[in-house]
Each structure stands twice: as C-alpha cells, then as structure tokens.
Amino acid sequence: MLSRLKSRGNSPKGGTPHSGSFHRFCFCSGKEELRRKAMKVLVIGLGGVTNGGKTTLAEKLKKMLPNCDIISQDDFFKPESEVETDERGFKLYDVLDALYMDEMVKSIHNWMNSRTCSAVVTEEPQNTRESVKNTEDVYILIVEGFLLYNYEPLNELWNRRYFLTLPYEECKRRRSTRVYQPADTPGYFDGHVWPMYLKYKNELEENTSNVVYLDGTKPQEELLSCVYSDIIQELKKLREGSKLFYWKLDVLIEFKVNKKLITLYGNTARIVQIYI
C-alpha cells in the first residue's frame, strides 16, 4: 500500500513523494473507519401485559423515527410440541422456557453489530419531524414482547424500557377478541396467562429500576406522544455525545497521521510539514 501511494504521489520531475496526497488519504480513511465504529445504537424495550398495545405502538413509532427496526418476541416461540403442558392440560406459553431466548439475544446483537459496521442510512420515514433531523448516525431498535425484562442477558442492552399495563377485566376482554394458534382453552386466561403476568410483573417491580410504566387503557395517540417525546430526548443526548466524541477523534487522528508521516519521511520532514 505504501509503495503504491508513493508512486501515485511522485513529483513529475522525479523529486520526493508528494506527501499531501498521502496525508489526505490516511486522514479520511482512518477517520471514517473510527466513525463507523462510533455509530450510536438505541435499543428500546416495549414490554408488558398481553394485548396491551405493544405491537401497535412499536409499529407507529417505527413510522416516526429514523433508522428504526423492530424485533418481536413472538417470533421466538418454540413450536407447540416443545412447549410444556401442566396437569390441567394448559400449554405453558407465558413463561421464558416457551421461548428461544438465546436466539432472541443473538438476533439483537446481530442487529447492533450490523448497524455499527455500516454507514448506510435507511430511508427517512414520511412522518419524521424536525426534532429528529440529523440523526443519520443513530440507529434505533424497538424490541417488543411480554417477557423482556425477566431475562438477565437482555437487561444489559436496554437504553430505555417501557412496560404497558392493563387491569384484569380490560385485559381479559381484549384477549377474548383475539384468535390464537393454538386457541385458548376454557379457563386458560385465569389459570395461566394472568397469574404469569402478575408473577413476572412483581419480579420486575422488586428487582428492576428505570422502567417507565404506561397505562394501556389510555388512547394510543397519548401513549405514542409520551414514548416518542422520551425517545427524542434520548436521541438528543446521544447526538451531543457523538459530536464531542467526533471532535476528539478528529484531533487524535490528525496527530497520529502527522506523527506517522514524519516517521515515514523523516529525511523530508520539512516538505511534509508544508503539506500539513
């Protein structure tokens, strides 16, 4: 690489290598590589009660936020044959063992790695507001599901966590309007779904902080506005941190490039200094 760059920078009169070209190449290439590594990702958890409105809220947020993707916990259910059945004949779907949680964590890590190694910006959403302009270096992942915060490997990934709640009667009413495969058997909601929700919610309240609880009975637009505004504040914090970090990178890279050039062309340091 060095010999090729030297030959491209040779003076027409056969003089010393043109160090200016080499300097610009090293500076831009090194800086862009480090900036790719410094790309910011925001991982949002949208958890809570069954039929609480998680999926609907996640899809609306995706339309409003830049560079946003969704991972749904429902995509990681084990097949029915691998889900345990209790003595009442209930399939135990509302427990962690009914899910491929390791695969879910791996999918989130893969998403994070693919975004931080890419400089490609996804298409700007139609409803993007002025407050989220210039966030091309921030990628957002919304993870939605009913058991997000009771699995320790996931808890180190969240930037923000939201938890939708519903009272018993409203949750049961909404659940009765949905069709599941396999279908809910008589007594399934009272015998398994609701008790498991209360169990995991109690664990969450006892062991976890920094969770924003949302009342799922409120209008969707009100919930959307609340969560959207909160995410925007988080984006602003990341943007400010990125600006400071990029400035430090610029200074650091320029110093290192200058030092490397002088080392490589020690006998022509004066010429190098003219170009830097």
Low-confidence winner among 3-12, 58-67, 157-166, 188-197 (lowest mean pLDDT):
3-12
Query: What is the rounded distance in angstroms from the CA atom of residue 3 to the CA atom of residue 60?
Result: 54
Q: Which of 69, 74, 86, 190 is catalytic?
A: 74
Residue at 125 is within a domain: no
Residue at 27 is within a domain: no
Task: Count other C-beta atoms under 10 Å from residue 15's C-beta.
Answer: 10
Residue at 23 is within a domain: no
Query: What is the rounded distance in angstroms from the CA atom of residue 159 to the CA atom of residue 275?
Result: 44
What CATH number corresponds to the domain at position 189? 3.40.50.300
Question: Mean pLDDT, to the nearest integer, of 232-246?
Answer: 71
Which range marks the domain in which residue 101 is found? 33-113+136-272
The domain total for the chain is 1
Predicted local distance difference test score (pLDDT) of residue 220: 95
pLDDT band at 34 (very low <50, low <70, confident <90, very high): very low
For residue 112, give Cα distances in angstroms to 77, 109, 258. 22, 5, 33
41 or 128: which leads in pLDDT: 41
Query: 220-264 and 54-64 are packed helices; what angle lies between their axes, rounded to 10 degrees?
Result: 50
Question: Mean pLDDT, to the nearest integer, of 140-166?
Answer: 95
Predicted local distance difference test score (pLDDT) of residue 208: 83
**CA 267 distance to own-chain centroid:** 49
Element (H, E) at 46: strand 40-48
Residue at 128 is within a domain: no
Residue at 16 is within a domain: no
- Residues 6 or more apart whose CB falls under 8 angstroms from that of 181 comprise none
Query: What is the rounded distance in angstroms from the CA atom of residue 19 to the CA atom of residue 105?
Result: 48
pLDDT band at 238 (very low <50, low <70, confident <90, very high): confident
Residue at 185 is within a domain: yes
User: Would you state the structure tokens that stand for residue 86, as one six-digit string?
Assistant: 């209790």
Residue at 148 is within a domain: yes
Q: What angle do CA 59, 175, 224 make, to 5 degrees?
A: 30
Is 75 annotated as catalytic? no
- At residue 215, what are phi and psi to the nearest 5 degrees? -80, 110
pLDDT band at 136 (very low <50, low <70, confident <90, very high): low
- Determine the length of the chain: 276
Query: What is the rounded distance in angstroms from the CA atom of residue 105 to the CA atom of residue 18?
Result: 50
Work out the mean pLDDT of the chain and round it to a whole number.
77
Low-confidence winner among 23-37, 78-92, 126-140 (lowest mean pLDDT):
23-37
The whole-model pTM stands at: 0.71
Question: Mean pLDDT, to the nearest integer, of 136-164?
Answer: 92
Residue at 17 is within a domain: no
SS3 state at 4: helix
Question: Mean pLDDT, to the nearest integer, of 210-236?
Answer: 95
User: 273, 274, 268, 270: which is closest to 6 by C-alpha?
Assistant: 268
14 or 77: which leads in pLDDT: 77
